[in-house]
Chain A
Amino acid sequence: MRYTIDDRGFYGNFGGAYIPEMLHANIEELQQRYVGIIEDPKFQKEFHDLLKDYVGRPSPLYFAKRLSEKYGSRLYLKREDLNHTGAHKINNTIGQILLARRLGKTRIIAETGAGQHGVATATVCALMGMECIVYMGEVDIERQKPNVFRMKMLGAEVRPARSGSKTLKDATNEAIRDWINHPVETHYIIGSVVGPHPYPDMVARFQSVVSHELMIQMEEKEGRNYPDRIIACVGGGSNAAGAYYHYLDDERVRLVAVEAAGEGIHSGRSAATSVLGTEGIIHGSRTLLMQTKDGQITEPHSISAGLDYPGIGPMHAHLIRTGRAEVVSITDQESVEAAMELSRLEGIIPALESAHALAALKYLTLDSDETTVISLSGRGDKDLATFMKYLDDE
């Protein structure tokens, strides 16, 4: 079984580029040039220098002692929360901004849910002196206010998406429409492993720095370069793709994808795509998505803005459908509890998205001598308002 893309841009049945003609020239240019640009040694040097000196990589692999005691197993946290701007998203935006420059683009657009990708995009645009416009659903602007201010402070324009559920899906639609209207000078920095080929593969390659580091760090700490299990939350799936990447073909490593069940998988307010979804097309990619029988895309719900998306990236659809990855669904309530637990056991306040990955621990059978890496994709500063509400109720 093959878990990376084929030469047509598909992961098994999933992926491809289902785009209107208005985007053909842009997508074709990306398809033809992205590998060459990324593999150029000069690009690699610039990319890795920035990851080291600007982002602060490698991110630590931290052995979580008290958490491990609680679950009776060996648990490591991959600390993407310690990156500059507070999440894994910046690994991708650094890569894409360097690529955009090589393509001669001068204007950057992005979509954002939790605001982490928006902030990471605004940051690299400030760094490179490029114009930056970020689309964000009105609902998310409300629940992730600190990130809206950060983007503005970084010089980006935040444009509200007012259609549909006013969340990540709608922000993505607006970004695509913007790109259709400004195809020549604009590069669209997609924030996850979603969208038309080559985005899923391109974003996965930029995020793969995470599993590359994991191999070195596991060797140092455990004397072998792989863990028994990797747990990561999946919105579109970029932090998961990054943490899995170098282990995709290594069947010794069990892959666990954690989805947002919202108020419960069958509550009608959920984002558990792998359970509720069927095959179809969303944002230019053939994948699993939540939809009606008539093919209308369903409005998802999750407490976590970064997981509040009705699809998953085509790579994950393939990993799940082939059984390579197993899925755990976590409710809003469970994610907040897991965030509280990590805060009090380890002194680390995780993002609500990452808290979903932590909450999966209680559903897994963990042996005492097994090692598990949990992708701590981001820090919880942006979610303080949500946590405060919960603490008040407590």
Chain B
Amino acid sequence: MILKDRQSPALNIYFTAGFPELEDTVPVIRALSESGVDLIEIGMPYSDPMADGPTIQQSSARALKNGMSMEVLFDQVAQISEKVSTPLILMGYLNQMIQYGEERFLKRCRETGISGLIIPDLPPELYKMQYQEMFRNHQVEIIFLITPQTSEKRIRTIDELSDSFIYVVSDSSITGKSTEISKEQIAYFQRIQKMKLRNPTLIGFGISDHQSFSQAAEYSSGAIIGSAFIKRLDKEYGEKGIDEVVTKFVNEIKHGA
């Protein structure tokens, strides 16, 4: 279990590895962990991130320009993972894992202290057919997404297949669209809540501030914030230190100030 039983809502922050600068991965992870984030999702920069909006596309392109690679990323994670207690997960695309070699990739995750993977273009059917055993052998968890279009039956299947948490995509969308949470979305969150899944649920995509975070947390175990954090990091980087930017952002999300 990546998320432990808990009272307060879990906050999962996504950031792109190697952004704004190549060597920022470690300080960002440290700052996030020290500011009390519950889960850290490290984005593996990809040339063609089809499920991501402009913010993450741009941060990924910049990280790649900075020289980010899987090898560098794993080395950076290895440097910090033992020093922080916050669980670390990776988010990236299946092609990156395939080119690295799936077995080797999972082994390296395990060695460097990565506990789970979000691979949006790896559907549950293909996971089950090709990868489930491999993930089990290396003790790496998989995290699946569900959307307002995912059928109840399919949600049950997904709930059976994973042992981590379920990523509830708040709306039919790519990352980075932040709008107010609508009535339809709330109805959808409630529908999921009523299903009483085995796994905890975290709501993501479009969560950007204290209000949307708290609202999402009413219907789930917590929420995931990505684009809003990257935008802030980009904006204030250089003026302020990473620690200061991160602490302020996390406080704002958690406490609204």
What residues make up the interface of A, taking CB atoms closer than 8 Å to B? 16-22, 24-25, 163-164, 169, 173, 176-177, 180-184, 278-284, 291-297
Contacts and interface: CB of A to CB of B under 8 A. Distances in A.
Contact of A21 (B48, B69, B70, B145): B145
Contact of A24 (B47, B48, B96, B150): B150
Nearest to B171: A181
A284 B64 CA distance: 22
B187 interface: no
A16 to B, nearest CB: 7
Interface in B74-102: 93-100
A291 B173 CA distance: 27
Identify which of B47, B94, B120, B122 gathers the most chain A CB atoms within 10 Å of its CB. B47
Contacts of A182: 172
Contacts of B97: 295
A292 B173 CA distance: 29
A164 B123 CA distance: 26
Given A21-B145, A24-B149, A173-B48, A296 B64 contact: yes
A62 to B, nearest CB: 40
B126 A18 contact: yes
B17 interface: no
A21 B24 CA distance: 31
A293 B61 CA distance: 17
A129 to B, nearest CB: 25
A169 B53 contact: no
- Name B's interface SS: loop
A18 B122 contact: yes
A136 B145 CA distance: 29
Contacts of B98: 279-281, 295
18 contacts: A20-B145, A22-B169, A24-B147, A24-B150, A163-B61, A173-B50, A184-B149, A281-B95, A284-B50, A293-B99, A294-B96, A294-B99, A295-B70, A295-B93, A295-B100, A296-B47, A296-B64, A297-B48
A278 B100 CA distance: 13
Given A25-B149, A173-B50, A183-B172, A20 B69 contact: no
Identify which of A18, A22, A182 gathers the most chain B CB atoms within 10 Å of its CB. A22
A21 B50 contact: no
Identify which of A16, A17, A25 gathers the most chain B CB atoms within 10 Å of its CB. A25
A84 to B, nearest CB: 32
Interface string B135-175: 00000000011110111001000000000000001001110
